[in-house]
Amino acid sequence: MLEVIELDIPEVRILCPKRHGDDRGFFSETYNKALLSDAGIDIDFVQDNHAYSAEKGTVRGLHYQMPPFAQDKLVRVVRGAILDIAVDLRVGSSTYGQHVSSVISAENGKQILVPAGFAHGLVTLEPHTEVLYKVSQYYAPEHDRGILWNDPELAIDWGLAEADAILSPKDRKLPRLAEVAACFSYPEAAQA
């Protein structure tokens, strides 16, 4: 069984795989193509990624790939916790430039589905956090893009002071939303 919860931007969804627990721990199917298909999610994932962040307050993002290598992402946490954020980049969408967020953790077992047409980012809420995520297109460095994590136009509450954020040099230099070329349109982004 798979519970699917729509967020305020309904294309971004929380997936809650059932956990079967006993005194030894639990068992969970973290990915089942047939269950996703039954929930109306037909995505062929082609690559798994694993990110480890040593420190609490590590910010990754906001990242996306341009078409034709736009990626759907299915994100879960196997150790620690994150605040996961998706920003709508689909020109013509009523939610363009808006974001949704959710706490995803090893403890709650939730996953977040971030479709193509959204920038994706996260901040670690605990030290030694490990994130696994599936993507629907291979990494294409020439199509790799991003938006500055603290762009004031986005008004994202990351839950930490800017001075406490740990970022890569690349992520510190990303442009603001107003400075990036539009590459997604609504509703075509869902077909990227």
Can 133 be counted among the known catalytic residues?
yes
- Asked if residue 137 lies in contact with residue 65, where contact means CB atoms within 8 angstroms, the answer is yes
- Asked if residue 116 lies in contact with residue 72, where contact means CB atoms within 8 angstroms, the answer is yes
The number of helix segments (H) and strand segments (E) in the chain equals 2, 15
Of 52, 63, 99, 143, which residue is the catalytic one? 63
**DSSP class of residue 3?**
E
Mention every residue, 6+ apart, whose C-beta is less than 8 A from residue 136.
43, 44, 45, 46, 71, 72, 73, 116
In single-letter form, the type of residue at position 13 comes to R
Encode 18-80 in three state secondary structure. Answer: CEEEECCEEEECCCCHHHHHHCCCCCCCCEEEEEEECCCCEEEEEEEECCCCCCCEEEEEEEC
Can 63 be counted among the known catalytic residues?
yes
Terminal C-alpha separation, the chain? 28
Of 64, 133, 138, 143, which residue is the catalytic one? 133
**Catalytic sites, residue numbers:** 63, 133
